[in-house]
Structure 1
Amino acid sequence: MSKQILVLGSINADHVLQLDAFPSPGQTLTGKSYQIMSGGKGANQAVACARQGGNTRMLAAMGDDELGTNISEQLSEEGVDATNIKTIDDMETGVALIFVNRDGENMIGLATGANHYCDEHYVAQNHELIAQSDYLLLQQEIPEGTVEYAVDLAANHQTIVVLNPAPARDISTSLLNNVDIITPNQTEAEYLTGVTVTDLDSATAAASVLHNKGVQEVVITMGKLGAYISSAQREYPQGLLIPGFPVKAVDATAAGDTFNGTLVASLATGASLADAAFFANASAALSVMRSGSQSSIPYQFEVETFLQSDHEIQKAALHDQKL
């Protein structure tokens, strides 16, 4: 049975506009399509956990508006326990304005809204959920103090902390000392370490910086290259590049969230970090071939079918690296 996962993070309504190219300053472009859909890094990752079979709860704050109500209901329909998500009176749900170009790349602007009220007091009121959880998955679209407080609580209860440091911001060494697994992308890894991550050697150098700051396990997502994993003391002290999947990207909006949710859901079933990262790579590859945020996140059976189809080369590559 899957262990208990608690996701602490943001809820946003995503306003997505498809364009051929991103506008330059002062330029107006006509888009191809416009949609409003459920999003937020926290909600996306909770959905990804649940769709991969994870036993998932969520802590978050939403506004007292129709957007928030709809998102909360959708989370419940996905199998996420949304019982403890709080509604903030006279406040709007967070909003993300997303441009997506013809290459599937995105540009995102955020209005925090109710996410600002996902604060330390709220976490303290729900401290027992952290104590009861095996994994705590966090991102950085909620206040910095909330993340620090929750990580400290998790450390006191031996709950495994997985931090997706997105969007990038400064992180104290004291916080990193209590992070078990950190999952930056290449840009976030460079922001945190000063090392430009482009290949195996530079990923190893960046991971070394994070290990020296107290993080036990590092997972750096590297797009089509795959995901680099490193462990300070255990299985992968020299680092390992888990192969990616070359697919045609349509929209990369929730790829990172898909990866993180799938990674934690796989770990919660007892998978090794390497196997969990491989499965998460496949899940993220499927997500970029679809439009939208939560609408692009695949289900477990879809990832399994994808892996059984024509990706024996990637499986062999993973096997060879683990020898």
Structure 2
Amino acid sequence: MTNKVTVLGSLNVDTTLRIKRMPQPGETLMTENKSSAAGGKGANQAVAAARAGAQTSFIGKVGKDSAGQFMVESLNDDQINTDGIAVDETVGTGSASILLDEEGQNSILVYGGSNKRVSKQEVDAAAEQIKHADFVIAQFETPQEAALEAFKMAKENGVVTILNPAPAAQIDPALLQVTDLIVPNETESASLTGIEITDDASMVASAKAFEKMGVKNLIITVGSKGAFYSTATEHDFVPAFKVKAVDTTAAGDTFIGALSSQLKTDLSNIATALVFAQRASSITVQRLGAMPSIPTVAEIKAASK
């Protein structure tokens, strides 16, 4: 059974600048390499879902420019339904500048552009993609109002909603009320609950805090350590696969997209889906770039042997 996944989110052209180390304030550094590729949290998650075997649709916005055409074509290359991508006549396509050091750590500067103009209008136009999905995914590089509209529509049609609260931001409480599964990293989780992630007890406390906000299911990704999950029936911590990271860009996005491709709508297989997602992101961090580094289902299965 192939999962149908609809992603509402951002489309950015990523420019990666490779440097020895991060610059100090006021310091000028030479870059060792410069490359551009398709990216954006939403686009990365959609590509990860599609490459991991899900039937994927996208809702978003690009500018009337060559970057926008490039982004739509990039998604089409992965057989993603792009009918839900609108064109903004006045604002350019989103972009991101990524500083990447020798340790594989990154700092990212994002220009929202047309991503910031995604509205209820785009969501309503893509109603069919939402109603017929198994999962609808949203993040915070597009406005929360659009995510709220999409999640409400999803819930009315029995579709499971997954929220990736990144970049960290204040969340509209109404959005949490229509979120089935929230997937923050440890920093985002701490900023939303006020509970610092230090051990199992703090993760369990975080799950209870999210439940009070209206979200019954939680996955917290903890970088190279692994991921914690909590549902109504179980909770556990699953260690990450040990690999040498060269570029952590899109690791979290790969995790969420790959997870959605395997997860059952009742979340009964969350533990095995989570291991599959971790395997996918462990491949991503061993390669350069955002979208180009995301593995296919064949690569994930081969690495699992």
TM-score range, shorter chain: over 0.9
Q: Which amino acid aligns with 1:280?
A: A
Distance (whole Å) between structure 1 residues aligned to residue 129 and residue 299 of structure 2:
30
For 1:272, the equivalent position in structure 2 comes to 269
Counting matched residue pairs gives 304
Per-residue deviation, 1:12:
0.3
For residues 54-133 of structure 1, the aligned pairs below 5 Å read: 54-133=54-133
Taking every aligned residue pair, what percent have the same amino acid on both sides? Answer: 37
Secondary structure class of the residue paired with 1:261: helix
For 2:246, the equivalent position in structure 1 comes to 250
Query: Counterparts of 1:34-73 in structure 2 under 5 Å?
Result: 34-73=34-73
Q: Shift in Å at residue 130 of structure 1? A: 1.3
Distance 2:199 2:293 in 1: 28
What is the alpha-carbon distance in structure 2 between the residues aligned to residue 60 and residue 273 of structure 1? 28
Off by >6 Å, runs of 4+ in structure 1: none
Structure with bigger helix share is: 1
Distance 1:271 1:30, change over 3 A: farther
Aligned to 1:166, what secondary structure does the other structure show? coil
Match of 1:283 in 2: 280
Q: Which amino acid in 1 is paired with 2:15?
A: H
TM-score by length of 1: 0.91
The residue matched to 1:152 in structure 2 has which SS? helix
1:169-188 alignment runs, 5 A limit: 169-188=169-188
Query: Aligned with 1:98: secondary structure?
Result: strand
Residue 303 (structure 2) aligns with? 306
Which shows bigger deviation, 248-257 or 198-207?
A: 198-207
- Read off the aligned partner of 1:97 and give its amino acid letter: S
Unaligned stretches of 5+ residues in structure 1: 309-323
Counterpart residue number, 1:13: 13
2:290 to 290, 293, 296: 293
Q: Deviations over 1:129-182 (max 9, x none)?
A: 211211101111001211122112211111100001100111133221211110
Q: Distance in 1 between matches of 2:82 and 2:128?
A: 15
Alpha-carbon distance in 2 for matches of 1:123, 1:227: 31
Residue range with higher mean Cα deviation, 243-252 or 265-274: 265-274
Say whether the 8 Å CA contact 1:4–1:268 is kept in structure 2. no
Q: Give 1:225 deviation, angstroms.
A: 1.6
Question: For each residue in 1:261-291, what CA deviation from the matched residue of structure 2 results, as whole angstroms up to 9, or x when unmatched?
Answer: 0010111598711111111011111111111
Cα contact 2:11–2:62 (8 A) shared by 1: yes
Q: Measure the CA separation in 1 of the matches of 2:198 and 2:44.
A: 27
User: Deviation per CA, 1:235-268, whole angstroms, max 9, x where unpaired?
Assistant: x1xx200121111110001000000000101115
Aligned with 1:248: secondary structure? coil
Please, which runs of 5 or more residues in structure 2 have no aligned partner? none
Quote the offset at 1:84 in angstroms: 2.2
Q: Which residue of 2 aligns with 1:240?
A: 236
Partner of 1:320: none
- Structure 2 CA distance, aligned partners of 1:257 and 1:68? 20
Maintained 8 Å contact 1:120/1:149: yes
Residue 193 of structure 2 corresponds to 193
Q: TM-score, normalised by structure 2?
A: 0.96
Structure 2 distance, partners of 1:174, 1:144, is: 10
* Cα contact 1:5–1:268 (8 A) shared by 2: no
| Contact 2:84 2:125 (8 Å CA) reproduced | no
Partner of 1:311 in structure 2?
Answer: none
C-alpha contact 1:2 1:268 (8 A) present in aligned 2: no
1:54-79 CA distances to partner (integer Å, 9 max, x unpaired)?
Answer: 01000110111111111111111111
CA distance in 1, matches of 2:150, 2:157: 11
Paired letter, 2:270: L
Q: Deviations over 1:78-102 (max 9, x none)?
A: 1111122111123211011110111
